[in-house]
Structures are given as structure tokens and as C-alpha cells.
């Protein structure tokens, strides 16, 4: 007979997470991220995932130029207990270089996750994390289906609206409504 026992967990802060990396407890090339105080292993990246991240990065850079800082697969600090590594983020160009400060949730205009094997985690955990952090928009690129789920209207309970955009459709970031992207170009 299985017994359901609640075991207390030791949750880490962003500061403690950084100290573990500095002390060598976490290797610099280790594929982990801090999510709600827990150190989570990131899924291996497949070919379709790589292609979508490369396409998204290229599209954002060529269409947005200097209007946003494009940051592929780099951490974003969400105090006090999270530092996810979205596949691509559009950051506000700032007076302070991101070489001197880590991007934080208030710097993010759009977070993009590419999902092949992590769809459920990205929908249930990452979307809620980004929404609670006040990130205005989150795109989930589903490589198996060739669609982009667009999440907008963040709150502590999750995003207020989700729309799905498929091949043959156009999508524009909330921060740049004058710039549009063909959904199919993310998956080409």
C-alpha cells in the first residue's frame, strides 16, 4: 500500500543558485535552470528545436534591429527563486548593458519557449512562472504541430488569454504590433 507523504524540500534563492555555480557545485556547461526554488534539469535539444530557435533568433534580429535586444537561450532572473533560460527573449534596450547586469523579468518584452518534448512543462510551469513575473507576453512554439501559442495578459493566476496561430497565419509581438512574422517561418 502506497503512502502519500509530504516531504519538506529545501528551496534555493537566485543568489544561492549563483553561489553554487561560483563554487563549482554546478558546472558552467550544466544544463539546469532554477524554477520556483528547485534546480531542474533541462531536456536535451533536438534538431527541430535547434532549427526553431535559430529561425526565431534570425527573424527577430532582422525585423527588429535595435528596437529590442535579442537574447537566445540565456537566463532571466525572476526574484526571489527562479532563473529560467527561455529559448529566446526580447529585452528592452537599456541604459545599462546586459554585460553588467543580468536580464530580469522587468526587462523582458517577450519570452519564447520552443517545445518538442516539454510541452506540458512549458504550458503548466513556465507559462505560470512568466505570468506571475509580469512578463507581458509569452510564445510557445510547438515544433511537432508547427503552431505558436500566444499568451497575453499576465496575472498571478496565469495569462488571461491564449491564442493559437498556425501555418499560413501571421503573428506580431505585443511590444511591436507594426512588425509581423509568418508562423511557418519559425518552423522552416
Residue 2 has pLDDT above 70, yes or no: no
**Span of 18-22, 26-30, 174-178, 180-184 with lowest mean pLDDT:** 26-30
First-to-last CA distance in the chain? 51
Q: Can you tell me the distance from the alpha carbon of 23 to that of 157, in angstroms, rounded to the nearest whole number?
A: 36
130-152 b/e with 16+ CB inside 10 Å = b? bbbbebbbbbbbbbeebbbbbbe
Report the predicted TM-score, pTM, of the whole model to 2 decimal places. Answer: 0.93
- Taking only the tens place, the pLDDT of each residue in 9-36 is 899 999 999 999 999 999 988 999 999 9
Q: Can you tell me the distance from the alpha carbon of 107 to that of 37, in angstroms, rounded to the nearest whole number?
A: 21
% the chain with pLDDT above 70: 98
- Taking only the tens place, the pLDDT of each residue in 143-173 is 999 999 999 999 999 999 999 999 999 999 9
DSSP state of 111: E
Separation in Å, CA 38 to CA 66, 122, 140: 35, 15, 22
Domains defined along the chain, listed by start: 45-186 (3.90.1570.10)
Amino acid at each position: 500500500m502506497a503512502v502519500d507523504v509530504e516531504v519538506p524540500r529545501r528551496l534555493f534563492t537566485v543568489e544561492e543558485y549563483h553561489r553554487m555555480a561560483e563554487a563549482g557545485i554546478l558546472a558552467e556547461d550544466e544544463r539546469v535552470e532554477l524554477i520556483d526554488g528547485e534546480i531542474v534539469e533541462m531536456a536535451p535539444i533536438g534538431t527541430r528545436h535547434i532549427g526553431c530557435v535559430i529561425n526565431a533568433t534570425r527573424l527577430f534580429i532582422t525585423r527588429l534591429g535595435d528596437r529590442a535586444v535579442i537574447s537566445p537561450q540565456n537566463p532571466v532572473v525572476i526574484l526571489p527563486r527562479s532563473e529560467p533560460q527561455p529559448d529566446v527573449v526580447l529585452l528592452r534596450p537599456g541604459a545599462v548593458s546586459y554585460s553588467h547586469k543580468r536580464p530580469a523579468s522587468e526587462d523582458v518584452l517577450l519570452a519564447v519557449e520552443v517545445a518538442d518534448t516539454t510541452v506540458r512543462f512549458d504550458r503548466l510551469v513556465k507559462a505560470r512562472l512568466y505570468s506571475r513575473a509580469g512578463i507581458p507576453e509569452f510564445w510557445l512554439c510547438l515544433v511537432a504541430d508547427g503552431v505558436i501559442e500566444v499568451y497575453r495578459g499576465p496575472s498571478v493566476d496565469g495569462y488571461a488569454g491564449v491564442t493559437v496561430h498556425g501555418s499560413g497565419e501571421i503573428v506580431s509581438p505585443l511590444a511591436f504590433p507594426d512588425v509581423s512574422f509568418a508562423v511557418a517561418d519559425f518552423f522552416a
